[in-house]
Amino acid sequence: MSCAKFAWLDISVCAEPIHIQPKTLLIVRLEAIGDYIFVRNFLESIRLSDTYKDFKITLCGNELWRDLAETYDSPFVDEFIWVNKKKFGSDTTYRKSILSAIHAKGFEYAIQPNYSREFLWGDSVIRASSAKYKIGTKGDNANDLGFFKWISDSWFTTLVRRNSEPIFEFTKNKIFFEELLQISISLVKPTFNLVPSKPKEYIIIFPGAGELIKQWSPQNFAKFILEFRKHYSLPIYICGAKGDSNLAEEILANCQGIKDIINHCGQTNLPQLVRFIQESNLLLTNDSSAFHIGAALDVPTVCLFSGRHYGRFAPYPKGSCLNLLTLYPKSFELFLREEKNVIEKTKYHSPSLINEIEPSEVLNACNQLLNESITAR
């Protein structure tokens, strides 16, 4: 994808005259579902803050999590602008329509809390807003070449320089909003403000993930199921997006003769998935949005990781989640003990493969959480 392809288009949008509307705020977050779960709780903090409580607040977001935001976060947002991120980065007509619509609104303030900013997406939206005050993070260049970040740094009026020590992504967001709003926020992890419910006696397996290297194989999931069924008769729902159905079918093909395994992929929208996870006895998942939903709901959750991005998205800070276990390959655990600069060394890749995790290890982790859950009841 060429930045030059959009250069004149973006410049032409910014050149259009606008009238700044006082007390208007644009919040930009175009990343995936999990990234939104890590920022959505702070919308309430913005809405209730002395600084922005009287503002008209607009959220520009990725349409992947539209139903999630509109269901749970509408009380804190006056208007939503939804972006198909793929089209925005490939279709010039579509891109211009989005940028022009944002530019024409004349926002006074525009905020992008993303630590690893993206030149062609969030940064370009901030630029096109032509807001009087454009606030972002100094962050890093994990998603862009340093040259592009250097250019887009100049598009902001204020860049918050966060603590350079490696910290959990949710904590990074919390620090950003505490500095922005000049308040203290007590949250230590994502949450959903839902009415508590009792488990309905089933477990969920979430075999999909955004990248193949983050996916435990269908064969391993099947081996786990075969062992799990020797100890538990709980129904098993395989969940995910519609595109994950092929993974579910491959798991089912390797579990011939095992009853009560249901391919549930593509059968729920995001709010329904949240409820479905909330009412389960256990969630077994790869590094995906389901992992963070489980953590936010305090549902017993086992998550499988190769070790990439260690410390940024997992593990959760000690003591923040009581029902969460993260599993890594044994070779990665050895790497943790011997390597001093783990955060930097796993920034882009892991020295281990996720399929090194044995089904027996996963069964032991699930046993632990299920036994604790049953005891608690």
- Structural domains of the chain ordered from first start: 4-181 (3.40.50.2000), 203-376 (3.40.50.2000)
Predicted pLDDT of residue 376:
44
pLDDT at residue 133 above 90?
A: yes
Predicted pLDDT of residue 196:
80
Query: What contacts 24+ positions apart, CB below 8 Å, involve 92-98?
Result: 92/5, 92/6, 92/9, 95/6, 95/9, 96/9, 96/13, 98/125
Residue 273 CA, chain-centre distance (Å), reads 15
Instruction: Give the C-alpha separation, 64 to 270, whole Å.
Output: 9
Cβ-in-10-Å burial (0-12, 13-18, 19+) of 356 comes to: middle
Burial 222-253 (b: 16+ CB within 10 A, else e): bbbbbebbeeeebbbbbbbbeebbebbebbbe
Write out the two tokens for 29.
């977050």
pLDDT, one tens digit per residue, over 262-305 is 999 999 999 999 999 999 999 999 999 999 999 999 999 999 99
pLDDT at residue 212 above 70?
A: yes
Predicted pLDDT of residue 302:
98
Average pLDDT over residues 219-231: 96
Average pLDDT over residues 89-108: 96
Predicted pLDDT of residue 165:
60
Instruction: Kindly report the pTM of this predicted structure.
Output: 0.93
Predicted pLDDT of residue 146:
74
Helix/strand/coil for 201: coil
Give the number of other Cβ atoms within 10 Å of residue 8's Cβ: 10
pLDDT at residue 167 above 80?
A: yes
pLDDT, one tens digit per residue, over 312-337 is 999 999 889 889 999 999 999 999 99
Predicted pLDDT of residue 7:
83
Instruction: Give the C-alpha separation, 222 to 299, whole Å.
Output: 22
Percentage of the chain lying above the pLDDT 70 cut: 96
Percentage of the chain lying above the pLDDT 90 cut: 81
Write out the two tokens for 18.
């606008």
Predicted pLDDT of residue 163:
57
Helix/strand/coil for 127: helix
Phi, psi of 273, rounded to the nearest 5 degrees:
-65, -40
Predicted pLDDT of residue 97:
97
Predicted pLDDT of residue 373:
65
Predicted pLDDT of residue 1:
46
Model confidence band, residue 105 (pLDDT cutoffs 50, 70, 90) = very high
Instruction: Give the C-alpha separation, 218 to 249, whole Å.
Output: 9
Query: Running DSSP on this structure, what letter comes out for residue 63?
Result: G
pLDDT at residue 182 above 80?
A: yes
Which has more confidence, 257 or 219?
219
Helix/strand/coil for 169: helix
Instruction: Give the C-alpha separation, 313 to 109, whole Å.
Output: 29
pLDDT at residue 189 above 60?
A: yes
pLDDT at residue 374 above 70?
A: no
Mean model confidence pLDDT for the chain: 92
Which has more confidence, 149 or 47?
47
pLDDT at residue 214 above 80?
A: yes
pLDDT, one tens digit per residue, over 11-26 is 999 999 899 999 999 9
Predicted pLDDT of residue 377:
41
pLDDT at residue 141 above 90?
A: no
Q: Of 177, 113, 126, which is closest to residue 10 (Cα–Cα)?
A: 126
